[in-house]
Amino acid sequence: MADADPRFDASAEIATPPSPGNPKRRKALLGIAGAVLLAGGGYGIWYVAVGSHYVSTDNAYVGADTAQITPMVAGQVAQVLVSDTQNVKRGDVLVRIDDADARIALADAEAALAKAKRQFGQTSATGQSLAATLAARDQAIASAQAGLASAQAAFQKASVDLDRRRKLAPSGAVSADELTSAVNGYAAAKSSFDSARSAVQQAIAAKDAAKGDLAANRALTTGTTVETNPDVLAAQARVDQARLDLARTVIRAPVDGVVTSRAVQVGQRLAAGTAVMKIVPVDQLYVDANFKEGQLTRVKPGQKVTVTSDLYGSDVVFHGTVTGFSGGTGAAFALIPAQNATGNWIKVVQRLPVRIRLDPRELKAHPLRVGLSMDAEIHL
């Protein structure tokens, strides 16, 4: 009988039954699975009951309608009374511009106004003189007409005398000297008659001219007084403008706030409209929160918002109200807008700025500054 092969083991052909699993490990896995299911169920319940009633973002920043300070008149800066970071009240003097030129302009305008008033008084007095002249022209016409009637009578008499003597001359009843005298008298009477007739026409023409002058004068004065005369009103408007320009040499704060970006020095020559500084109304700040477009489905103006600042932390909570939405996303108004019509387009979730008005009383208690980061949560 051959020797048995030592590499062969009959016991190796018998399959080893699987050992039962570790009971502790199975319990641990079941416990983890149960915890996960419990956490998922708890989150689902929380989201339905609480989480679905809020949307939040940390992409939010403080903003303000900053007041830009610009001079209304040109001139040299005489005095700067504020500096950056200084708190000012509405009406406080910020800058004084040298007012010498403005004072001279005001004095010139006031002199022009006085002259206009005097000219109106002179025009009124001239009207009275023209009315008297017109009455005198009527008397001159009457006198000229009387002279014309007298000259006409003398002319007619001279004409009759000349005819009579011419008829008697052939019979020798009238001498040649007498006839010559009658001819000369006729000529003189005719000349006087023509002169008288011309005098009447001149008197009538003088009256028409006086009537026109009076009408022109009355057109300037009728229905007006020294206070309502157009020339006086125009001169008064120039005085008001000069007085306003003088007042504008003193630049005042238009709102309460903090001075920033001061860019003016004493002695600097300013042109009208040059930006010299800004005033940030710290009690009228707002928050622009950039929410994802998918978060805005249920957001509406008037909804309440809680906001926290990185400056104060979560211990200080600001309360605000949604006032509206921007007219477009940030990408739409970017300097170089996205060109989505290209072939390599990839959809990117857009963000839309939502304006949130803050409570002025909370801002007064905990001041904020433009540009600070905020966390905003809208109560849906």
Kindly state the average pLDDT of the residues 212-229: 69
Model confidence at 94: pLDDT above 80? yes
Q: What is the pLDDT of residue 219?
A: 64
Please indicate, yes or no, whether the overall pTM of this predicted structure exceeds 0.85. no
Domain count of the fold of the chain: 2
Q: What percent of the chain has pLDDT over 70?
A: 82
Half-sphere exposure of 310 (CA within 13 A, CB side): 10
- Is 375's pLDDT higher than 90? yes
Same domain, 160 and 201: yes
**Domain with 124 in it:** 102-243
Do residues 94 and 107 share a domain? no
Residue 252 has pLDDT above 90, yes or no: yes
Q: What is the pLDDT of residue 173?
A: 67
Q: Is residue 218 part of a domain?
A: yes
Domain finish residue from 280, 297, 328: 280
Q: Helical H runs in the chain? A: 23-49, 100-168, 176-221, 230-247, 360-365
Report yes or no: 359 and 340 within 8 Å, Cβ to Cβ: no
**Which CATH number belongs to the domain containing residue 163 in this structure?**
1.10.287.620
Q: What band does 75 get if pLDDT is binned at 50, 70 and 90?
A: very high
Whether residue 260 lies inside any domain: the answer is yes
pLDDT tens string 145-178: 777 788 777 778 777 777 777 776 677 666 677 7
Q: What is the pLDDT of residue 98?
A: 94
pLDDT in tens, 274-323: 999 999 998 889 999 999 988 888 899 999 999 999 899 888 999 999 99
DSSP 24-44: HHHHHHHHHHHHHHHHHHHHH
Residues 264 and 152 both lie in one domain = no
- Residue 33 falls within a domain, yes or no? no
C-alpha to C-alpha distances, 246 to 68, 73, 329, nearest whole angstrom:
21, 9, 46
